[in-house]
Amino acid sequence: MTTDELQQISTIEQETQGQYQHHVCVCVAAGCLSSQADVVQESLAKEIERQGMGDKCHIKGVGCMGLCSRGPLVSVDPEGVLYQNVKPSDSAEIIESLGKEKVSRLECSTEIPFFQHQKKIVLENSGLIDPNRIEEYIAVGGYGSLVTCLTEMTPSEVIDEIIKSGLRGRGGAGYPTGLKWSMVAKSRPGHNGKYIVCNADEGDPGAFMDRSVLESDPHRIIEGMTIAAYAVGATNGYIYVRAEYPLAIKRLRNAIRQASRLGLLGNEICGTPHRFNIELRLGAGAFVCGEETALLASIEGKRGTPRPRPPFPAESGLWEAPTLINNVETFANIATVIRNGSSWFSAIGTEKSKGTKVFALAGRVENTGLIEVPMGITLREIIFEIGGGIPGGARFKAVQTGGPSGGCIPENFLDAPVDYESLNRLGSIMGSGGMIVMDETSNMVDVAKFFMDFSRSESCGKCTPCRVGTAVMYDLLARITDGEGREQDLSMLEELCDLVKNTSLCGLGQTAPNPVLSTLRYFREEYNHQLVSSE
């Protein structure tokens, strides 16, 4: 595969699509699918046939359009109209309207802040291309960055570009991606060479960014991983994806097959000596496997328990070979950084947090779904403009970021910018991108208990503080929500938070107290209110 051949595929694809006067795109990501988007697609297709529009109108399934709460979503071009809550029975009307007056009763305005205030890098193709066809990805410039890297850049130039972009890991902790790459590049390969691992074990119970990216634009991940492999000198890669995401798995498998067929994976990629293969590995329901050493243990077929670091996976990872582990969203940024240049990327965001972040906006907010925003945007803008505020006129109470490792942020900090450092200062974390809005109906002690229940059951059980500490904290929180808590239970909770945070072996334990610490910090009166009055 050369630049010319890539160009050729792209041209043919564009010509094929250009033959049609109308394009109907149906969102077939998991959110819309569960509101029967597949049935809608089928009935639209039938309707196109029935009305004899087969040669004029092209229909396809596309990835996530973002506004999941109003699915199934259907967009028609060139009219540029988005339809919401589409039912199979609406098909005839929609197809009849093509080239004429739009169906106003189904229209979802794209002028609303939900669409206007976003900045799309990772999701640039989501909702536009058919995730099952590599040709469509190539037609929008896909794999161009890979060819550029392989034919025009040295591995160290690629790493330099990533370092200069300021991209940081999107899995939660925010480690600079370029630095990680250069560490792996410097490590001496093991007898199996080096490995690239994509962490797609999205375990935060309230986050679905990675799933959406994998379902909507799987080739993006493959391209990012292959570029990384070239940069650090790896020949094998794994995508560790949750078994709970069957659709993402299916589309990834398909994408890997297509890329291999075109010589974009395998031996002698693009006619260069670079070779790289990707295999899928299925997770099996263990949140702790998001921790990198636990994830590696799991790929090796073992219990997913973390081990102490150092040695870091960059030096000794999978089967003791140097291993680069990045999150889905991190890999999804790579091709765009290369294509548009590091200075373009680093112009977006704040001083220390560059680029954009994808959030899964959910909970008590009008517009739930998937959003991508520039770093530095305020929480208020996300919740009240993009999110459209709290439904039913209820009062906002808190926003939770970072899932079981993060914290609840109250109203008076809503104007804080969203970046790694500022969220840390507020007692939460960026996390992988779950953002849950809570209104006055939420009991914050119950929320803390919910997360502690999660942590205690997801704790691998290896180290004492996390194994027993989270269980005892849960017992104490349950005692409080049952109305039997006493004053000393709060000080015990604080003691345990400090212990578990500072003595646990891995990130799961070290961050497990955050939901309790942040609610104690901002909503202590709610705890006090539920205690047995001590006489």
Of the residues 459, 514, 518, 519, which one makes contact with other proteins according to CB under 8 A:
459
Helix and strand totals (H; E) in the chain: 24, 13
Q: What is the closest distance, in whole angstroms, from the C-beta atom of residue 74 to other proteins in the complex?
A: 16
Q: What is the closest distance, in whole angstroms, from the C-beta atom of residue 301 to other proteins in the complex?
A: 4
Of the residues 394, 416, 471, 490, which one makes contact with other proteins according to CB under 8 A:
471
Tell me: does residue 245 bind other proteins (CB under 8 A): yes
Tell me: does residue 370 bind other proteins (CB under 8 A): yes
Of the residues 502, 524, 529, 532, which one makes contact with other proteins according to CB under 8 A:
502
Residue 293 in tokens: 């050493």
Nearer to other proteins, 286 or 332 (CB): 286
Of the residues 91, 177, 182, 442, which one makes contact with other proteins according to CB under 8 A:
442
Tell me: does residue 363 bind other proteins (CB under 8 A): yes
Tell me: does residue 13 bind other proteins (CB under 8 A): no
Please give the biggest Cα pair distance in the chain.
82
Sheet holding 396-401, edge to edge: 369-374, 356-363, 434-439, 396-401, 407-410
Distance CA 177, CA 334 (A): 10
* Binding residues for other proteins restricted to 255-294, rule: CB under 8 A: 281-288
Grouping H, G, I as helix, E, B as strand and the rest as coil, residue 373 is strand
Nearer to other proteins, 243 or 532 (CB): 243
Tell me: does residue 475 bind other proteins (CB under 8 A): yes
**What is the radius of gyration, based on Cα positions, of the chain?**
24
Binding window for other proteins (CB under 8 A); candidates: 27-35, 112-120, 146-154, 377-385: 27-35
* Binding residues for other proteins restricted to 204-233, rule: CB under 8 A: 204-208, 211
Contact 194, 184 (CB under 8 A): yes
Tell me: does residue 463 bind other proteins (CB under 8 A): yes
Q: 3-state DSSP: the chain helix, strand, coil percent, rounded to 5?
A: 50, 15, 35
329 Cβ partners below 8 Å, 6+ apart? Answer: 122, 170, 171, 209, 210, 213, 357, 358, 432, 433
**Kind plus residue range of the DSSP H or E element containing 215:** helix 209-216
Distance CA 228, CA 173 (A): 20
Binding window for other proteins (CB under 8 A); candidates: 4-12, 160-168, 329-337, 355-363: 355-363
Q: Is the dihedral of CA 477, 480, 485, 487 positive or negative?
A: positive
Residue 162 in tokens: 């990533």
Binding window for other proteins (CB under 8 A); candidates: 8-16, 18-26, 53-61, 199-207: 199-207
Binding window for other proteins (CB under 8 A); candidates: 126-134, 193-201, 228-236, 445-453: 445-453
**Kind plus residue range of the DSSP H or E element containing 398:** strand 396-401
Tell me: does residue 526 bind other proteins (CB under 8 A): no
Backbone angles phi, psi at 414, to 5 degrees: -65, -20
Binding window for other proteins (CB under 8 A); candidates: 197-205, 267-275, 374-382, 417-425: 197-205
Would you give the binding string for other proteins spanning residues 385-404, x where CB under 8 A is met? Answer: ---------------x--x-
Nearer to other proteins, 199 or 470 (CB): 470
Q: What is the closest distance, in whole angstroms, from the C-beta atom of residue 527 to other proteins in the complex?
A: 17
